[in-house]
Amino acid sequence: MALLHPCSCTTPPSPSPILPFKNWTPNRLLFTSPALRRRFPPNRLPPRLRAALAVESPAASGKNRGGDSPEILLEVKDLSAAIAESKQPILKGVNLSVYEGEVHVVMGKNGSGKSTFAKVLVGHPDYEVTGGSIVFKGENVLDMDPEERSLAGLFMSFQSPIEIPGVSNIDFLQMAYNARRRKLGQPELSPIEFYGYISPKLELVNMKVDFLNRNVNEGFSGGERKRNEIFQLAVLGADLAILDEIDSGLDVDALRDVAKAVNGILTAKNSVLMITHYHRLLDYVKPTYVHIMEGGRIVETGKESVAKRIEKEGYNAIPAA
């Protein structure tokens, strides 16, 4: 699963080391019981209870990073990285600065290094950083393991979200959410408080409540997995969400829902880095910048018009690509 285990796109994580099941009380069983769900169906929580349970996402309510002008969230300088096993260089000097409140889009031909860049940001063990720096919220990310990066507020959704057999969505999310709250020194939410918190998020992505009790991504269609990734992002919050082809394989309605959810999680304090091949996502989520990656470098940066040009003319429209 993406958020707590950015390295897990190839190896399903064991949630236990950082998400202790021992914190899971018998209340949880009541909470997921059909009777309780009938009593508190999503969207129908009594307004007072809803208000009482309303809490901000831990990321949104985290450290206040200051005054009115946007601060820099991510600064990548001359980043190079190779495949850990073969030492084959893939990233060859990536430079990128992301400020609060921005939407950055990375496009590029197949094999240009987009996913590798995203995975290197979250510390995927398949890759070795061979040069340059990554600073996130003023901290050297290269000194952090993937779990620390995630707890610091980096979220990544993967092209192919993994299944976590035997762990329901709601169990997973509550454990992940409370882990983040603990890290921020905030009190954990009880199951009922958590349910109050996530109900509106289900609406945001137009997901049925049944998905909460299904095992993470098990038997989900491709589109449902993508929707679930965005749901996780909406629930867990992030200062920087890295979305790798979140639009691939979505039907038009799902694309609209996912885009709506992305817009719904954006605030003046967080940012999104989206990898996509298609301009259609940008009809809904307006980019601050569009970057073109080629040969492991960002070779062009511009506004949305760059994406439109590529859609029309292909990558030949970008001389360096």
Ligand X SMILES: Nc1ncnc2c1ncn2[C@@H]1O[C@H](COP(=O)(O)OP(=O)(O)OP(=O)(O)O)[C@@H](O)[C@H]1O
Task: Give residues in contact with ligand X (CB under 6 A).
Answer: 83, 90, 108, 110-116, 126
The least CB distance from residue 109 to ligand X, in Å, is 7
Give the amino acid at 29. L
- Helices 191-205 and 169-183: crossing angle in degrees, nearest 10, is 110
**Residue 197, CB-side half-sphere exposure with 13 Å CA sphere:** 22
Rg of the chain over Cα atoms, rounded to whole angstroms, equals 19
* Nearest CB to ligand X, comparing residues 198 and 292: 292
* Nearest CB to ligand X, comparing residues 9 and 265: 9
What is the DSSP pairing of strand 103-108 with strand 271-275?
A: parallel
* Nearest CB to ligand X, comparing residues 49 and 83: 83
Cα–Cα distance measured from residue 191 to residue 174, given in angstroms and rounded to the nearest whole number: 8
For 302, the enclosing helix (H) or strand (E) is strand 297-302
Residue carrying the six token digits 């999503």: 42
The least CB distance from residue 158 to ligand X, in Å, is 11
Coil, helix or strand for 87?
Answer: coil
Instruction: List b or e across 20-58, with b for residues whose CB sees 16 or more CB atoms inside 10 angstroms.
Output: eeeeeeeebeebbeeebbeebebeebeeeebeebebebb
The least CB distance from residue 228 to ligand X, in Å, is 20
CA distances from 276 to 175, 185, 292 (A): 30, 36, 11
The least CB distance from residue 275 to ligand X, in Å, is 7
The least CB distance from residue 162 to ligand X, in Å, is 16
* Nearest CB to ligand X, comparing residues 115 and 271: 115
* Nearest CB to ligand X, comparing residues 237 and 296: 296
Beta bridge partners of 216: 164
* Nearest CB to ligand X, comparing residues 116 and 228: 116
The least CB distance from residue 159 to ligand X, in Å, is 7
Give the amino acid at 18. I
* Nearest CB to ligand X, comparing residues 64 and 110: 110
* Tokens found for residue 15: 């949630």
* Nearest CB to ligand X, comparing residues 114 and 201: 114
* Nearest CB to ligand X, comparing residues 53 and 134: 134
The least CB distance from residue 114 to ligand X, in Å, is 4
Contacts of the segment 136-140: beta carbons below 8 A, 24+ positions apart: 136/73, 136/74, 136/239, 136/240, 137/63, 137/65, 137/73, 137/239
The least CB distance from residue 3 to ligand X, in Å, is 20
The least CB distance from residue 315 to ligand X, in Å, is 11
Our measurement of the distance from residue 192's CA atom to the centroid of its chain's CA atoms, rounded to an integer in Å, reads 25
